[in-house]
Structure 1
Amino acid sequence: MIRSLQYMALGVPDLAPGADFYETFGLSVENRADHLAFRCKGRDQDQIVLVETGKSRRFHHISFGADAAGLDAVANRLKARGGALLPRPFAGAPDGLWFHDPDGHLVNVQVAEAAPQTPEPAILVNSPGLTPRSGVRGCPTRALPTNPRRLGHLILFTPNVPRKMNFYREVLGMKVSDTLQDEYGAFLRLSGDSDHHVIGFLNSPAPGFHHASFEMASIDEAELAAGKLFAKGYKHAWGPGRHAIGSNYFHYFRDPWNGMCEYYYDMDHIPAQCDWEAIDWTKKDGMFIWSADGPPPPDFGRNYEID
C-alpha cells in the first residue's frame, strides 16, 4: 500500500543546534513558518523535519507516501482495528491520514511518491584478476562532494517489537525482511521494490528514536563526510563497519540530543516478487560483520528519550 518513506520529524527544544548539525551532515535547510525542513541537495523532498516543542527531544512523527487507492486501504484497515484519525499536528504538516501507532508514535500517510533520483554511474573497483579501472587513479580528492542522496530508513525504539511490527504490516502493508532474536528487533520494507528496510524497531522499556540513515555514493564519500563532522566536534558513535542485516556499510554520529544519524552505502535491494527469506539473527551476527570499533558501544542501544 505505502510506496515511499517521505520524511521523519523530531520535536526538539531548540532548532538552532539541529540546523548546524544537519547542515554539517550534508543536508540543505529550509526555514519555514512553524518548522525547519532538511533536504538532500538537488532533491525535491523533505527528509528531516524539526519542530520546536520547548521540551527535551522526542520523536514527533513519520510520513509515508501512497497513491489514492493505498490511502483508502490504510484508512479502511485502521478503521477495522478501531484506530482514530487525528488532525494535522501543525499548520505546515502535510495533508492525508494522521493516526497513532501502538506506541503512540504519530504516523502520516499522504498521497505522494518518492522524488526521483538521478542514476549515477557505478564506481569502478579493481579486484583480484579484474581491473575495470585501468590507467585511471581511483583515489578521490579531498574536494569530493559529500552530500547524502536520500533518507533510506529510520529505527525506532519500542517496548513491544512484535506488536509494533504487526501494526506496520497489517495497516501499512509492509513486509518483514529480517529480525533479531528474542524479539529484540525487526526490519521492514515497502511492499513493492524496496531497500532491505525503510523502518526498523529495537526493544526498549519505552518508545523513542534511535537513528536516521542516509545513503551515500561510496565509502570515500561517507568517510570524507565523517571528517567534516569530526572537524565541527560532533561525537562519533560507531563505525565505520558493515552490517549483516541489510548488508550496508555504516558510520554513525550522535546528533545534538544523543539520537544518531548514519551514513550508509550498498544496501540490499529486494524486488517486489522476490522470494526473500527473513533470518532471525543473533544480535552479534546481525548487527555487524566487522567494525573499526569492534562491537557497538554500550550506549548504542540506549533510549535517550527515557532520561
Structure 2
Amino acid sequence: METTPKTPHEDLHSEQGAQRGDRPDRASQPVIKVEDLAWLEFEKPDLDAAERFAHDFGFATAFRTGDELHLRGTLPGSQCLIIRKGPTSRFVAPAFRAADRADLDRLARASGGTVRDRRDAGGGAVLELHDPSGMPVRVVTGVERLPPLPRQEPLVLNFGRVLRTNAAQRPPRAPSRIERLGHVVLETPRFATTLDWYQRNLGLIVSDFLYFPGQRERGPTMAFIRCDRGGTPADHHTLAMHLGPSRQYVHSAYQVADLDAVATGGEYLKDRGYRRAWGIGRHIQGSQIFDYWRDPDSVMVEHFADGDMFDDTVEAGWAPMSASGLAQWGPSVTRDFLGATPSAHLIRDVVTALRADDNEFDVRRLIGLLKAASA
C-alpha cells in the first residue's frame, strides 16, 4: 500500500502544516539575510543595580563606563546587551548581525538609510532602521569579536548508560553562566505588515505560525522566526512576534549549559529575592527548557537550554494559540508571563489600539486573544 510522504514539518514541531492560501513562511527574494541577533539595547536609570542583577543572572561585564554597560556570555562573539543610562527603564532596539559591509550597503539602498561607522566599543558599522510598527532596528557588521570565557560544562548524566562512576552529582547553587543571546519577543498591533518587513528586508524565515482559536482564516497572530543560514542550523526562533494592543518588548532569552544550570541558577535567583515569572518547563514551539524571571525593573528575561535548531529546509508549522499550548510540561502558565494582569497601562493600550485605523488589532482579535489566554 502506498503511503503519503511526510512533509518536512511533521514530527518536528507542529501537528499542522500550511493550507492553500496561507501566508508564506519566507520572502522569495529578500534584500539580505542576517546571520543572527547581535545584541539588545536598553536604557536603565541605575547601571549599578542593572549590573548587580546581570551578574546574579549569569552575565559577565564586557565594558563599563559611568553611562554605558555591555554584558556578555561565555561564547565568543559580540556582547549580549548594551545598557545605557537613561531616565527610565526601557527597551530601545534589537541589533541584527549582517555578513559584511556590502549587505549593509544593499539594505541601505533598499530602505533609504545611511550606513555609518560605529563609535561605540567594538567598532564596526551600523544601519539604523525602523520596522512598520515604529520599533527601532539596528543592523551591524564588522563588530569586534570578544574572546571566549570559561564556560559552565554540562553535567555528565547516567541516563541509559553509566558514564559517571564513584562521583557524586552536586551542582552548586550559583549563578548560571550565560553562554549567548538566543532570542527576543516583541508585541505589535501591526503584526502582518511588520512580519512582511522582517522577511523581505532581513531574510528571516518563520518556523511556526500560531493563530487565535477559531480565526485560522484571518491568518496568524504569532510567528517564531529564525535566521536563514542555508544548510547551517539556526535557532528555532531568533525573533518572535505576536499581535497585541501594544508595541513593546515582551522578553529575551539567554542560553545556559543544561537543565541543571537552568535549575540551580533559578534557585540562586530565588535566594537573592528576585521574582520568577514562570518556570521551569519545556516549550512546545522551539522545545527549550525555560525559566522566566523579572529584573528589579520588571523586565522579563529567560534562561533556556536545549532549544531546537533548524536549517532552511524546514517549513513552517501551524497551530492554534493557547495558554495551555505553551509548554510540554511544567507549571501552569502565569498571568504575569502572559501580561494579563489588569492595569491602567494595559487598558489604555487596548482602547487606543481599538480606535486606531492603521493596525490589525480589532474587537474580534481582542476576543481571540482573550480566548487564547484562557484556553
TM-score (ref. length: structure 2): 0.71
Report which of the two has the higher share of strand.
1
Give me the whole-angstrom Cα distance separating, in 1, the residues matched to 2:141 and 2:164: 47
DSSP 3-state at the match of 1:180: strand
Structure 1 residue 260 and structure 2 residue 300: aligned? yes
Compute the RMSD of aligned alpha carbons: 3.0
How much has 1:257 moved relative to structure 2? Answer: 1.8
Offset of 1:48 from its aligned partner?
Answer: 1.0
Do structure 1's residue 50 and structure 2's residue 83 form an aligned pair? yes
Equivalent-residue separation in structure 1 for 2:311 and 2:209 (angstroms): 19
1:204 alignment counterpart: 244
List gaps (5 residues or longer) in structure 2: 1-32, 213-219, 347-375
* Unaligned stretches of 5+ residues in structure 1: none
SS at match of 1:289: strand
Q: How far apart, CA to CA, are the structure 2 residues paired with 1:299 and 1:204?
A: 16
| Partner residue, 1:279 | 318
Alignment of 1:229-244 (within 5 A): 229-244=269-284
Report if the CA contact (8 A) 1:270-1:276 is conserved. Answer: no
- Letter in structure 2 aligned against 1:221: A
Distance of aligned partners of 1:268 and 1:32 in 2 relative to their CA distance in 1, 3 Å threshold:
same
The answer to whether residue 256 in structure 2 is matched with residue 216 in structure 1 is yes
2:75·2:180 contact (CA, 8 Å) conserved in 1? no
- 1:240-286 CA-partner distances (Å, limit 9, x unpaired): 001001001100001122121111011000123x2334223432354
CA distance 1:90–1:107, change in 2 (3 Å): farther
2:22 corresponds to: none
Measured after TM superposition, the shift of residue 34 of structure 1 is 3.6
Paired residue secondary structure (2:39)? strand
Provide the residue aligned with 2:68 in structure 1: 35
Distance 1:234 1:144 in 2: 14
Deviation at 1:123, TM superposition (A): 5.2
2:179 paired residue among 140, 149, 156: 149
Aligned residue pairs total 297
> Identity over the aligned pairs, expressed in percent?
26
- Give 1 or 2: higher helix fraction: 2
Give me the whole-angstrom Cα distance separating, in 2, the residues matched to 1:60 and 1:31: 18
* SS of 2:82 mapped into structure 1: strand
The answer to whether the 8 A contact 1:237-1:300 is kept is yes
- SS, match of residue 323 in structure 2: helix
Counterpart selection for 1:60 from 92, 95, 107: 92
Q: Does structure 2 conserve the Cα–Cα contact (< 8 Å) formed by 1:34 and 1:90?
A: no
Cα shift readout 1:193-241 (whole Å, capped 9, x = no counterpart): 3110111112321111111111111111111111221121110110000
Q: Which amino acid aligns with 1:141?
A: P
